[in-house]
């Protein structure tokens, strides 16, 4: 348990300017997600510096603890957790996330000239690693079974909720592709492999093991698609592949427009499949409408009831269509 006076900052640069003035105090990173970004993932990446490295930076100047405004786009009372890292050169001070409503209330008091003191007790600890596994199912290709298409999501989630959007949705959508193909009697030309990756949230050990195994077996991976942005209404796919492959995908865009899927743009795919490009795979990531994602992301509200079956099905349908096109025509 620690207690102390709060010092509010809205940037790392502001913390650096304060320097040793934060010694013995609790640094409050009140970094608001920028609402002017239409793509909320851009705001998340930019504002996340306080959570990711705030404790290490504050410890550099003698702070005794850190409070972080949750990376949430809405005003509510639910703290949102996530990855952070320490610097071994400085003390590992405790850090906690607080809800956006609480962040606003504390900030208002400080702006009114009040000295705000808090105390908090943190029981978190890092346990030793344990054995865990990816879960894999596949349909062997009828003509080119050696050419593998991977589609997946990740099994693990932050333990304060069910992780239904992050990333139960992606797992269900990937399984649905296999189920739907089998139900419809569709035999793909290339092998389609659905992978439920483990350990995405804390190190990507499942992704590393999958890549290592692919190299060991000298597998030929031609395409990988990940769903790790929630089970909301699909709007498009981000593409990370060679120009020739992108041109081929662009010829297919008109097939998706009746489902209001239209945004095929260059961008990242997903952390579980990203390194598959080192063995030749073209990559893509499902991009649903992101406006509500950070209302729930890494919070206790990310539960089964937050997922719309219709939106989930639409995402799975468009993923299945994309996978089928690659299976039939390659990249």
- Residues marked active site are found at 200
The residues pairing with 143 across neighbouring beta strands, listed in sequence order, are none
Closest CA to 289 of 236, 227, 225, 228: 236
**236 Ramachandran zone, left/alpha/beta (phi>0; psi -120 to 50):** left
Beta carbons of 22 and 7 less than 8 angstroms apart: yes
CA distance 284 to 319: 10
Nearest to 38 by CA among 244, 247, 329, 263: 263
**HEC assignment per residue over 84-146:** CCCCCCCCCCCEEEECHHHHHHHHHHHHCCCCCEEEECCCCCCCCCCCCCCEEEEECCCCEEE
Helices (H) and strands (E) in the chain, counts: 9, 12
Q: How far apart are CA 104 and CA 31, in angstroms?
A: 11
- Cis bond upstream, residue 62 (ω within 30): no
Q: List Cβ neighbours of 125 (8 Å cut-off, separation of 6 or more).
A: none
Q: Which parts of 281-308 fold into alpha helices (H)?
A: 293-296
d(CA 125, CA 130): 15
Structure tokens at 99: 């809800």
């Amino acid at each position: 348990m620690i207690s102390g006076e709060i010092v509010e900052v809205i940037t790392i640069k502001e913390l650096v300017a304060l320097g040793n003035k934060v010694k013995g105090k609790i640094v409050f990173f009140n970094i608001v997600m920028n609402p002017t970004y239409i793509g909320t993932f851009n705001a998340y990446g930019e504002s996340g510096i306080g959570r990711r490295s705030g404790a290490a930076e504050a410890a550099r100047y003698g702070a005794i603890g850190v409070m972080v405004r949750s990376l949430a786009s809405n005003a509510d009372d639910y703290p949102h957790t996530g990855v952070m890292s320490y610097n071994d050169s400085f003390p590992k001070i405790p850090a906690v996330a607080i809800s956006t409503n609480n962040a606003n209330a504390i900030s208002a008091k400080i702006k009114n000239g009040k000295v705000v003191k808090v105390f908090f007790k943190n029981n978190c600890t890092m346990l030793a690693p344990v054995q865990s596994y990816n879960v894999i199912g596949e349909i062997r290709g009828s003509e080119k079974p050696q050419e593998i298409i991977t589609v997946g999501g990740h099994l693990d989630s932050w333990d304060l909720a069910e992780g239904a959007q992050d990333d139960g949705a992606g797992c269900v959508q990937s399984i649905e592709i296999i189920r739907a193909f089998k139900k419809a009697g569709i035999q793909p030309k290339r092998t389609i492999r659905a992978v439920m990756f483990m350990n995405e949230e804390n190190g990507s050990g499942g992704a590393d093991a999958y890549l290592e195994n692919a190299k060991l077996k000298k597998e030929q991976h031609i395409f990988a698609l990940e769903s790790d942005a929630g089970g909301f209404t699909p709007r498009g796919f981000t593409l990370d592949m060679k120009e020739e492959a992108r041109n081929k995908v662009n010829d297919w865009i008109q097939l998706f427009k009746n489902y209001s899927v239209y945004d095929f743009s260059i961008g990242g795919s997903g952390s579980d499949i990203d390194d598959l490009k080192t063995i030749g795979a073209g990559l893509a990531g499902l991009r649903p409408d992101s406006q509500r994602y950070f209302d729930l992301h890494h919070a206790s509200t990310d539960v089964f009831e937050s997922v719309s079956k219709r939106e989930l099905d639409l995402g799975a349908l468009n993923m299945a269509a994309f996978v089928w096109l690659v299976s039939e025509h390659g990249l």
